[in-house]
Amino acid sequence: MEILSDLYLGFQVALTPANLLFCCIGVVIGTLVGVLPGIGPVGAMALLLPATFGVAIHSSLIMLAGIYYGAMYGGSTTSILVNIPGEAASVVTCIDGYQMARHGRAGAALGISAIGSFIGGTLSIIGLMLIARPLANAALGFGPPEYFALMCAGLIILTYLTQGSMVRALMMALVGILLGTIGLDMVVGLPRFTFGVNELTDGIGIIPLVMGLFGVAEVFMNIETVIKREVFQTEIKHIWPSLADYAQSKWAILRGSVLGFFLGILPGGGAVLASFLSYGIEKKLSKEPERFGKGAIEGVAGPETANNAAAGGAMIPLLSLGIPPNIVMAMLFSAFLIHGVQPGPLLMQNSPDIFWGLVVSMYVGNAMLLLLNLPLIGIWVQLLKIPYRILMPLILLFCLIGAYSVTNSTFDVSLMILFGGVGYLMRKFGYEAAPLVLAFVMGPLLEQNLRQSLLMSQGSFAIFATRPISAVTLVVACLLLLSNLIPFMKKKREKVEEILKEE
Amino acid sequence: MNADRASSLFWLFVGVVISVASFRLDVGSFRTPGMGFMPFGAAALLGLLAVISFFQAAVKEKAANKPPLFRGTRWPKVLFVFAGLLIYVQALPLAGYNISTFLLMTFLFWIVERQQVWKVAIFALLTTVITYYVFSKWLNCQFPVSPLGF
């Protein structure tokens, strides 16, 4: 019964006219950034975060969350119609989605991806409601050693799951931690690595960092290479899939929901991994695997469901433990902190309206997306025709204005441009930005918990081994680290990476 | 030297410099960690991983011959855009939002893909005016004003 009263509270919050409006704005912007290559959900969230400073925290979080799952919906449109994914989680949708479009079945592909996304998103929210409370209750007993261990494990799992070299991903996580140490030391209260620059006393802002590494760097990459986009010229008809399509897709959608939800909970797992694994599983389980790559509807339904289900799953560590499992959640985490609310086990007790309002808004947002996406596909297709020569300078200008509007100072803009240059070089040299940003966000908490743990234990690192949760978590993290050194495990990991690249 | 090894050396340098700087900040002890404790540990680990990455790159270099990173790309354009953005930031407080943004957008529209000058000027003007009204008048963003008053 408790859950029903919680849901009632959530609907009271989510259905206020202001929150409905912000939810609608969020999902529309999310779909837009998902459709348009050049700026992903992270960049869009960073861009719009300053605009939410003046509104209530409920509205701010509802809009930012809407951008995330809206982008998951929108990303499929470009994958299916242009063969260019709007964002990373839709890469795998290109394989069969584009083939379906070529065979005149673009409508069915777009339809099943929207319906699968809706089902995946809804099921994951139900999972979130069921798991979040017990996990938050358990987390109330956690102390600094447990939090330190969980954050370490989170970062290590994230680096383990990133494509490419794990060593490099770990290096980027360390760079993120180092960037997070800039500013006033939380214990001594003295400036650290500020080089006498007053603006650095509060540390580097998340907005210039993320906009630079994701928004500006992406534009630089697009300027560097000529990308020709050709929207597949086909009449989009029969958007509602046929009964045969549903019959073929139903298990893919269910499997995608479960897989996406659980992978979303994993640090670093998230939507990208969920979509790739879902595709692999569907191909493996299919009686006619040869259809995959030639327009199999399960190859669209499974991954699209999984990436939306992952969006709901990823909320669990953030809302229950206060630990963002991926970079998008790190942006949401920053939004919580900016509004003076600490996400974590006490959130449900202290601010149930925020927790349940956000959860229920995802139901509402998913329904809005279903209503918006199918009838408005024609408009999204038109947007795809905006030429790069117009789009890229506009994205740059929005990034500049977004960075400037945070503090009305050109310092943040300079930082953003600098990080844009760094992000471009990182991409060129094969370093990923996601571990850097996640470690940057978690860095201050990681340091605080490490120092508190050492103070508690009077300088003994044994405190991490004597407390069961931290011990088990750190052992798992160490095993993952070691697995990269053991030749057998390393070969397996490299093989998986090769398969993912081929797909 | 290939790109992977060069980047590893760069991070090794960063790790060493920050380790030294953190040490000077006061590392403290395990019992009472100082404010240089965390940065020192992170920088030392970064240096160590950079060494591992360097040797991994050396081994891989023998196995595969990668083409140079910037070959066949339009990297000079990126450099120009980067420089243009830096100049814009410096010009913004002096020339105000409208003038500096118009000049920046003219430059960006022109450099990303060459177009007719009148088209570029119209796009830049429209972008500047629309963003000024949306962000300054509607969303109350306080843009710098030029000495001419706009």
Residues A438-472 have pLDDT tens digits of 899 888 889 999 999 999 998 888 999 999 889 99
Residues of chain B positioned with their CB less than 8 A from the CB of A397: 101, 104-105, 108, 127, 131
CB contact under 8 A, B21 and A188: no
pLDDT at A102: 81
Query: Which residues touch B148 (CB under 8 Å, ≥6 apart)?
Result: B96, B99
pLDDT at A222 over 80: yes
CB contact under 8 A, A397 and B127: yes
pLDDT, chain A, mean: 84
Give this prediction's pTM: 0.82
- Among chain B residues, the shortest Cα distance to A180 is held by B39
Number of other CB atoms surrounding residue B15 within 10 Å:
24
Residues of chain A positioned with their CB less than 8 A from the CB of B88: 400
Residues of chain B positioned with their CB less than 8 A from the CB of A218: none
Percent of chain A at pLDDT above 70? 90
How far separated are the first and last CA of chain A, in Å rounded? Answer: 46
Q: Please report, as a single letter, which amino acid is at residue A97.
A: G
> Which two tokens mark B5?
């090894």
pLDDT at B87: 95
Nearest by CB to B42, from A177, A388, A451: name it: A177
pLDDT at B21: 93
Sign, CA dihedral B95-B98-B100-B102, equals negative
Residues of chain B positioned with their CB less than 8 A from the CB of A165: 53, 56
pLDDT at A273: 76
Number of other CB atoms surrounding residue A195 within 10 Å:
7
Report the pLDDT averaged over residues B78-94. 94
pLDDT at A160: 77
Interface contacts A/B by beta carbons within 8 Å: 147
pLDDT at A107 over 90: no
Tell me the nearest-neighbour CA distance from A140 into chain B, angstroms: 26
Identify the helix (H) or strand (E) that includes residue B67.
none
- Among chain B residues, the shortest Cα distance to A392 is held by B112
pLDDT at B14: 95
pLDDT at A503: 47
CB contact under 8 A, B53 and A401: no
Tell me the nearest-neighbour CA distance from A113 into chain B, angstroms: 34
Tell me the nearest-neighbour CA distance from A215 into chain B, angstroms: 13
pLDDT at A493: 56
**Of A454 and A386, more confident:** A454
Nearest by CB to B38, from A223, A450, A459: name it: A450
pLDDT at A123 over 80: yes
CB contact under 8 A, B29 and A171: no
Kindly report which listed range (A140-144, A418-422, A453-457) carries the lowest average pLDDT score: A140-144
Tell me the nearest-neighbour CA distance from B100 into chain A, angstroms: 12
Per-residue HEC secondary structure of A402-453 comes to: HHHHHHCCHHHHHHHHHHHHHHHHHHHHCCCCHHHHHHHHHHHHHHHHHHHH
CB contact under 8 A, A192 and B113: no
**Of A443 and A266, more confident:** A443
Percent of chain B at pLDDT above 90? 50
Report the pLDDT averaged over residues A419-446. 90
ipTM surpasses cut 0.90: yes
**Cα–Cα distance for residue pair A99/A239, rounded to 1 Å:** 16
pLDDT at A487: 56
CB contact under 8 A, A171 and B46: yes
Torsion of CA A317, A323, A327, A329, to 10 degrees: 60
pLDDT at A51: 77
Q: For A232-256, how does the pLDDT look when each residue is reduced to its tens digit (9 = 90+)? A: 555 666 667 788 888 888 899 999 9
Which candidate in B24, B37, B80, B112 is best for mutational testing of the A interface (most A CBs within 10 A)?
B112
Kindly report which listed range (A75-79, A202-206, A321-325) carries the lowest average pLDDT score: A75-79
CA atoms within 13 A on the CB side of B43: 22
Q: For A21-76, how does the pLDDT look when each residue is reduced to its tens digit (9 = 90+)? A: 999 999 988 888 887 766 778 878 887 887 787 788 899 999 999 988 888 777 78
Strand partners, A191: A184
Percent of chain A at pLDDT above 90? 16
Exposure letters A363-373 (e unless 16+ CB within 10 A, then b): bbbbebbbebb
Q: For B16-57, how does the pLDDT look when each residue is reduced to its tens digit (9 = 90+)? A: 999 999 988 888 888 889 889 999 999 999 999 999 999 888
Tell me the nearest-neighbour CA distance from A425 into chain B, angstroms: 10
CB contact under 8 A, B42 and A192: no
Q: For A164-203, how does the pLDDT look when each residue is reduced to its tens digit (9 = 90+)? A: 788 898 999 999 999 999 998 888 888 999 888 888 898 8
pLDDT at A325: 83
pLDDT at A285 over 50: yes
Tell me the nearest-neighbour CA distance from A290 into chain B, angstroms: 32
pLDDT at A7: 84
pLDDT at A37: 67
Residues of chain A positioned with their CB less than 8 A from the CB of B11: 171, 175
Q: For A474-496, how does the pLDDT look when each residue is reduced to its tens digit (9 = 90+)? A: 998 888 788 766 655 555 556 55
Tell me the nearest-neighbour CA distance from A306 into chain B, angstroms: 34
